[in-house]
């Protein structure tokens, strides 16, 4: 039936993607207005340098993601740390504030010292969580559609009892006028 669509066997090139690429990288992605996703990789040389500096094995170090929040003018507003397991390779980050920009540092706490960043991510922006303030006539609904849409939105915020009373009133009014109930 669909001879032009390749089969799975045709798509399998026989090669398997590597689990790591041997590069130091921290990538930050936006999931939605309230969440980010970060994934990272350390190369072996970086791990050895950190172990040499701290005189502790990699698995015994205390690691954290430092989440920096920026306003739209790239001015830093705040930051907070999330402690993570040294074996973790990714993390979902709840930021809680939409329409902002974020950057993440991945680092460790050497014994008796403050946070030491090892990797820094790209800048990621979270989208707004509400309707746009921009009103564009090109995309504007005709008045009758806008009224109908807003009526449905307003009606959907009614409680079940309010909805039932509204519907009952509507049917009584239609019946009084001699018409059939139409919704």
The fraction of the chain above a pLDDT of 90, given in percent, is: 45
Q: What is the C-alpha radius of gyration for the chain, rounded to an integer number of angstroms? A: 28
Q: What is the CATH class of 20-125?
A: mainly beta
What are φ and ψ of residue 168, in 5° steps? Answer: -60, -45
Per residue in 31-86, pLDDT (tens digit) is 999 999 999 999 999 999 999 998 999 888 999 999 999 987 778 889 999 999 98
How high is the pLDDT of residue 43? Answer: 92
**Distance separating alpha carbons of residues 45 and 77, to the nearest angstrom:** 34
The answer to whether the pTM exceeds 0.75 is no
Query: Is pLDDT of 140 > 80?
Result: no
What are φ and ψ of residue 48, in 5° steps? Answer: -65, -40
How high is the pLDDT of residue 138? Answer: 73
Q: Choose the most confident range, by mean pLDDT, from 5-19, 100-114, 162-176.
A: 100-114
Four-residue CA torsion sign, 58, 60, 62, 64: positive
């Amino acid at each position: 039936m669909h001879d032009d669509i390749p089969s799975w066997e045709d798509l399998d090139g026989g090669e398997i993607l590597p689990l790591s690429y041997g590069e130091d990288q921290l990538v930050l992605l936006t999931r939605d207005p309230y969440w980010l996703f970060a994934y990272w990789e350390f190369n072996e040389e970086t791990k050895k340098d950190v172990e040499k500096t701290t005189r502790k094995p990699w698995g015994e170090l205390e690691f954290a993601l430092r989440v920096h929040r920026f306003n739209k003018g790239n001015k830093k507003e705040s930051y907070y740390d999330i402690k993570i397991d040294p074996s973790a390779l990714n993390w979902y980050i709840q930021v809680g504030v939409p329409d902002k920009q974020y950057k993440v540092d991945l680092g460790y706490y050497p014994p008796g010292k403050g946070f030491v960043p090892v990797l820094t991510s790209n800048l990621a922006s979270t989208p707004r969580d509400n309707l746009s303030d921009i009103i564009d006539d090109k995309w504007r609904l005709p008045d009758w559609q806008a009224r109908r849409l807003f009526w449905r939105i307003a009606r959907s915020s009614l409680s079940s009892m309010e909805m039932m009373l509204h519907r009952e009133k509507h049917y009584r009014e239609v019946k009084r006028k001699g018409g059939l109930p139409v919704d």
